[in-house]
Amino acid sequence: MLRLRVSDDRGMALALALLRETGVEPPPHDPLLDHLLPRLFEAEGVGQVLQWDGEPRAGWLGALAALAEAGRVKREALIEGCVRRFLRGGTAIDLRFFVRLHEMLDPSPAEAASHARDYLRLLPASPGPVAELAMRRLRAYDALTADDLAEAWEALLLRPERKLVRAGLAWLDRSVRRTPALAEVIAAPLARAFAADSAELQEKAVEVALAHAGGMSEEGRATVREAIELLAPHLGHRAATAFAGGTVAGTGPTFVPPPLPAAPERACGVAPPIEAVEELSRLMREGARSWRAWERLLAGFVTLVGRDRAGVAAALRPWLLDGLTWEYRQESWERADQWLRGAARSLTATAPTPRAWQRLMPKADLAAPQLLLLHRGAEILRAVEEDTLPPLLLATPTHSTGHVAAAEMVRRLEVIEAAGAKPLAADLQQALLRLPRTPDPEAAERAARLTSAAGKILAAWTCPEVEIELEWTCGSDGGDHDWHDRSHHHEVRLVPTATAVPVGLPLVDLMLGVLRHWSQAEHREWWPSTLPSHREVATAYLMQHVLRRFWDESFVGPEQARDLARAEGPAGAAFSALLARVLGDPQMPESVDVLLEVAARGELPAAEIGRQAGLLVAGGEVRMIDMVAELDAVARRGAPAHVCRITAAALPAPGERPRNGLAGFVTLAAAPGWSRLAVRRAQVGAHALTTVSARNSYGSGEPPLG
């Protein structure tokens, strides 16, 4: 039944069911195999479907290997099918399965010989993996003519992949050393390599040219001389000396980095308070999309309810009567807007369940900043039910960073005391955490005259100091993990711990303790505003969101980095890891501006950023090429001295294995004028730094290291 399938497949399900139930093996001989197998290499879309088939002894790869081993299918037919598919063209994904099949078959030199011309045709423009396998087969084939070799080398040295160019140069060099007569055909390929976009590859090409210059014909030497102008000046001078002529590219004007851009104001004012019930009603319907809008809405609700409880209730009731009450059937409320709506329903007597806050309190595994946000909403709901709202809130920010000016907080407490009211507990503790780090003597003098318990707490308040440590872990491994080991995937986690002297206020101590949390991070963008005077603590809460664990997971971006950059307090390992992460993301070009802003304030922990950047690269979280590109942009926009310190710390220490792409970091770190990095020569290798030190990216003037 299966052999005679037509467009009507109604019998197929029965046939398959019979095979499964009886356990009968299908007949080993398939009369259609010889006719259909070639279509595997011709039909469009096959590569896309089979791109994930990577296990040599399973799936299609395993089936084809078994057929070849059993002699049912000729190896030559499979090899020829792969080569024909490569010649048809396609993307790397389209051809991935056929590359794996070809490499699994591992053609011998004798089997590959009949396809030598095909492999040559694949070198110039096929996807990198295809060109690489073609190069390997040609290198193992000893019957290539000098012209064939010249064609292969010229194609490889024009490739955009540095790996292939490097391999092509090595192949050329070894071949000429083994057969000196081949020096007659290497001039044109080497001239191509002189145009490489990598200084490392240019240098290697010059070294090969110098090594074999004596074997070149005069025509070949002339070809090399014509290409000398493509080289960097210091390499051009070497080549021109050896080849007795050629035009050396000019060094061009010396690049002088611009001055470091002035930092913008750390903070500006906030929107005026909500004064009208109509505005409050409209904003309640629209909801708050930012923490600034949320704080303004929260403050407006409390203040206007205190002034005109009946008027606010009348304005909000029609909206709430039209709304659904399904939220009251949830286990807990974990979004701030739910608590404010709950307070509005309690105010308007539209809540289906009285005293709902007792049952809907958030779970304990939320992050402390999230818990603080929710507690503030919950205590407002409770105060509405018990008619104990104060005339205003203490924690409403006066600045765009989230800070509350000390003088304004004292004024607010004076108003609350004069009204005979008490501030809300979570509101008071949030307000204390929002006080600036720098004391205000006049405000302190006024606070000393306050008589309430809250006033005495404020008068005695000093900004607590918190020490944050950051540990990199991979699974169950700790700090001794080998991040350079490429034999497995690194499941990186950034684990912060905090050390602080308890102040005796439960929510403050919770906030400064940085306990680990596991739930989803609602309102994550708001968290920095809860700790504007403790930058490192605020950043520590974001550590589990700095690295993406799942394909659809969002992580901390430049906007949160900017908020933290404008906060106060020490900048340590956590802040450095966050900056390094956003700096190494090519999708976040704004991170350069953030780094420059922190540098302009003199608050950039450059060495620690370098250390964290090195770990991110070693752990495979960012690409070296992206990190180097962004650091280069930072240096060119006025901060070469800071980049100097970052790159110095990012280079591997003595005894460490170098990371992939290290040459880019070394080139950046050893740019002329940064001679103080010479202390790193012993760590990176004297030759590496010596060869890159002649490449002038930032001019000849040495930037001060401060």
Render pLDDT for 279-290 as a digit per residue (tens, 0 to 9). 999 999 998 989
Q: What is the rounded distance in angstroms from the CA atom of residue 633 to the CA atom of residue 646?
A: 13
Q: State residue 353's pLDDT score.
A: 81
Highest mean pLDDT, choosing among 127-136, 321-330, 405-414: 405-414
**Cβ atoms of 216 and 186 closer than 8 Å:** yes
Average of per-residue pLDDT across 414-437: 97
Statement: residue 686 has pLDDT above 70: no
* Per-residue pLDDT band at 490 (split at 50, 70, 90): low
Tokens representing residue 664 in the block = 């880019």
* Per-residue pLDDT band at 691 (split at 50, 70, 90): very low
Q: State residue 325's pLDDT score.
A: 79
Statement: residue 488 has pLDDT above 70: no
Tokens representing residue 68 in the block = 């070849």
Q: State residue 610's pLDDT score.
A: 92
- Of 120-134, 218-232, 651-665, minimum mean pLDDT range: 651-665
**Cβ atoms of 547 and 479 closer than 8 Å:** no
- Of 76-80, 150-154, 377-381, 451-455, minimum mean pLDDT range: 76-80
Statement: residue 659 has pLDDT above 80: no
Choose among 330, 337, 364, 202: nearest CA to 283: 337
Tokens representing residue 372 in the block = 């603080």
Q: Is the dihedral of CA 694, 699, 700, 705 positive or negative?
A: negative
The residues, any chain, with a CB within 8 Å of residue 179's CB and separated by 6 or more, are none
Q: How many CA atoms lie within 13 A of 348 on its CB side?
A: 23
Beta bridge partners of 669: none
Phi, psi (rounded to 5 degrees) for 437: -70, -30
Q: Which residue has the higher pLDDT, 8 or 590?
A: 590
Helix, strand or coil, per DSSP, at residue 35: helix
How does the average pLDDT of the chain come out, rounded? 83
Instruction: Break the chain down into helix, strand, coil percent, rounded to 5.
Output: 55, 5, 40
**Cβ atoms of 224 and 216 closer than 8 Å:** yes
Residue type, 322: D
Statement: residue 474 has pLDDT above 60: yes
Q: State residue 231's pLDDT score.
A: 87
Q: State residue 19's pLDDT score.
A: 66
Choose among 675, 480, 705, 682: nearest CA to 607: 705
Per-position DSSP letters for 454-516, written without gaps between them: HHHHHHH--PPPEEEEEEEEETTB-TT--TT--SS---EEEEEEEEE---S-HHHHHHTT---
Render pLDDT for 537-568 as a digit per residue (tens, 0 to 9). 999 999 988 886 654 456 788 889 999 999 99
Q: What is the rounded distance in angstroms from the CA atom of residue 219 to the CA atom of residue 262?
A: 57
Q: How many helices (H) and strands (E) does the chain have?
A: 35, 2
Statement: residue 570 has pLDDT above 60: yes
Statement: residue 697 has pLDDT above 90: no
Q: Which residue has the higher pLDDT, 536 or 472?
A: 536
Q: State residue 629's pLDDT score.
A: 87
Helix, strand or coil, per DSSP, at residue 670: coil
Q: State residue 27's pLDDT score.
A: 61
Q: State residue 548's pLDDT score.
A: 67
Statement: residue 673 has pLDDT above 50: no
Highest mean pLDDT, choosing among 27-31, 98-102, 222-226: 222-226
Residue 695 DSSP class: -
Ramachandran assignment for 349, one of left (phi > 0), alpha (psi -120 to 50 degrees), beta (any other): left
∠ CA 357-361-363, rounded to 5°? 170
- Of 22-26, 141-145, 151-155, 247-251, minimum mean pLDDT range: 22-26
Statement: residue 73 has pLDDT above 80: no
The residues, any chain, with a CB within 8 Å of residue 578's CB and separated by 6 or more, are 539, 542, 543, 546, 556, 560, 561, 564
Q: State residue 692's pLDDT score.
A: 33
The residues, any chain, with a CB within 8 Å of residue 553's CB and separated by 6 or more, are none
**Cβ atoms of 57 and 65 closer than 8 Å:** yes
* Per-residue pLDDT band at 688 (split at 50, 70, 90): very low
The residues, any chain, with a CB within 8 Å of residue 87's CB and separated by 6 or more, are 118, 121, 122
Q: State residue 682's pLDDT score.
A: 33
Tokens representing residue 147 in the block = 């012209």
* Per-residue pLDDT band at 482 (split at 50, 70, 90): low
Statement: residue 574 has pLDDT above 60: yes
The residue ranges of every structural domain in the chain are 33-242, 277-460, 466-500+534-632
- Of 68-77, 437-446, 470-479, minimum mean pLDDT range: 470-479
